[in-house]
Amino acid sequence: MSSLHFPNLQQFINCPKEFWLAQQAKTPRPRLPYPLAPELRQLAAQRIELQDQDPVWASFGPWRATVDFIKASPNHPDQVRLYFVRASGSVYSPKHGFKEKYLKEWAFNYHLFCLAGYEVEQCYAIWIDKDYRYPGGEIPPKRLLKIHPLGQELAELRAETALLMQKAEALRLQKTAPKWDGQSFCKKKLACPFIQKYHGQEIPEFSIFQLPRHRLDRPPLEQALAQKKWDLKDLDPKLLPERWQLQQQSAKTGQAQVDVPALKEWLAQLEFPLQALDYEAVNPAVPFIPHSRPFQHIPFQFSWQVWTNQETEDIVSTNFLAQDKKEPTTGLMQALLDAAQPQGSILVWHKTFERERNRELAKRYPEHRDFLYSLNERLVDLEEIVTKGLYIDAKFEGRSSLKKVLPVLLPQMSYDDLPIAEGLAAADAWWQLDQQPPQEQAKTRQALIDYCQLDTFSLIKMVQLLMQKFGE
């Protein structure tokens, strides 16, 4: 059988049934800890005055654990110090101490290193100071990284950790599937792989878990769970708030429930030339351009679409993709100035993101502050037609993300066939672009452009569809 790591134990804690199912595969895929970025690893090594080293592994039975750095104690040569590095700015607070999710992982690693024969003098946590501002030049590790000893927290968790590991090992060896009462759910609800495999025939097309902002302790849902009724269509409509009633009606009829007067009013606010904007951004833990902070979103790409007027459906597209990491926003700012029309509404999806990027660009380029703030004044959030209940379709599954809404409104448009199909993948692809051979770089650049362009193109096409159906 394959080795077990902390992510496996976390899976067991979150959902024992899903853990059991994953372990029944002929060759279970190991769930490995996410590696540190090289630049963070190097700075962390400097922070503790250590030459950079690969992560150190320890094994005991089927379990494997890792620490980012291990260092001999200067006080006791036969003892070691363990260092855990996290690419996060929210690891510790003076008021509440360390976050539980980190303590559990570190306690597991500490426990396993002790079992493997290491005599551990002390453990330390290293994390990002999110208040650090990068002025440029070489980053002083002591300015960017905080370090704090882990006292009795880990020792106190050892017994609990050992018991969880024993239970996980026993469940992994169990030959029969765990029983399920039909009422208790993990965070994945009916999307849990265990439920999908062993109770898939019982899963309705539209379930109570797809209701927006549902709480399972609310009377209609609590009663449904007690009766093991998950079908949205079976709920008593008299007990449901209006928004849920409309989603239920959509599930029963197969038709969207549209507040036509409100949608007409929403569409009437749009001014031509109608435009659409989407940014893609990276937010690395280690800032890489001057006057930025850890985890700040730095846009490296945008797509801009222009629909001139309703007499034509033609759309003009402009795409920008930064060529390197040195200062991606310089070229982006100029391209934005060239692409934007002086008038007209600017469609976005979930406008908080684009609005904040414009505000940050205005701080970086104060000479263009008025231009960027004028863009923000013209932003129109197309997501509002879903979040405000103007257009309710059960096939959205209670969600308002573009990737849920677009395939329902425009089935011919999909992200499924794109090599890059979501924002995190786009950020990772751009960040690693300079490590690819030239031929692969060209493919990745095109994939990034195709993804970002689909975001904006789909916004215009959805509005065109809505205007055809419901516009004046």
Residue 223 lies inside a defined structural domain of this protein: yes
For residue 382, give the 3-state DSSP assignment: coil
Q: Which of 211, 199, 208, 248 is nearest to 229 (CA)?
A: 208
For residue 274, give the 3-state DSSP assignment: strand
Pair 311, 208 in one domain: no
The pLDDT score that the predictor gives to residue 191 is: 93
Residue 1 lies inside a defined structural domain of this protein: no
Pair 465, 320 in one domain: yes
Whether omega before 273 lies within 30 degrees of 0, making that bond cis, reads yes
Pair 101, 34 in one domain: yes
Pair 286, 330 in one domain: yes
Pair 115, 40 in one domain: yes
Pair 51, 92 in one domain: yes
Residue 190 lies inside a defined structural domain of this protein: no
The rounded distance, in Å, linking the Cα atoms of 117 and 282 is 41
Question: What does the pLDDT look like over 368-407, one tens digit per residue?
Answer: 999 999 999 999 999 999 999 999 999 999 999 999 999 9
Residue 453 lies inside a defined structural domain of this protein: yes
Q: Which band of pLDDT confidence, cut at 50, 70 and 90, is reported for residue 31?
A: low
Pair 101, 239 in one domain: no
The single residue listed with the structure tokens 């650049």 is 445
- 370, two tokens: 């008025």
For residue 217, pLDDT beyond 90: no
What CATH number does residue 395 fall under?
Answer: 3.30.420
Mean pLDDT of all residues in 191-201? 93
What range defines the domain where residue 229 resides?
Answer: 204-254
The rounded distance, in Å, linking the Cα atoms of 285 and 87 is 6
Residue 37 lies inside a defined structural domain of this protein: yes
Pair 209, 147 in one domain: no
The rounded distance, in Å, linking the Cα atoms of 258 and 267 is 13
Find how far residue 31's CA is from the centre of its chain.
18
Share of the chain above pLDDT 90, in %: 84
Pair 103, 57 in one domain: yes
Pair 269, 391 in one domain: yes
The pLDDT score that the predictor gives to residue 77 is: 87
Among the candidates 158, 173, 188, a domain finishes at 173
Pair 120, 42 in one domain: yes
Among the candidates 234, 254, 274, a domain finishes at 254
Q: What is the number of alpha carbons within 13 Å of residue 402 lying toward its C-beta?
A: 25
The pLDDT score that the predictor gives to residue 291 is: 94
Q: What is the number of alpha carbons within 13 Å of residue 242 lying toward its C-beta?
A: 6
Residue 189 lies inside a defined structural domain of this protein: no
For residue 166, pLDDT beyond 70: yes
The pLDDT score that the predictor gives to residue 29 is: 66
The pLDDT score that the predictor gives to residue 226 is: 84
CA distances from 319 to 299, 332, 451 (A): 13, 10, 11
| Mean pLDDT across the chain | 94
pTM of the complete model beyond 0.85: yes
Residue 179 lies inside a defined structural domain of this protein: no
For residue 258, pLDDT beyond 70: yes
For residue 160, pLDDT beyond 90: yes
Pair 51, 119 in one domain: yes
Question: What does the pLDDT look like over 40-78, one tens digit per residue?
Answer: 999 999 999 998 788 999 999 999 999 999 999 998 989
Residue 66 lies inside a defined structural domain of this protein: yes
Domains in the chain, number = 3
Among the candidates 128, 153, 173, a domain finishes at 173
> Residue type at 26?
K
On the 0-12 / 13-18 / 19+ scale of CB atoms within 10 A, 305 is: buried
The pLDDT score that the predictor gives to residue 455 is: 96
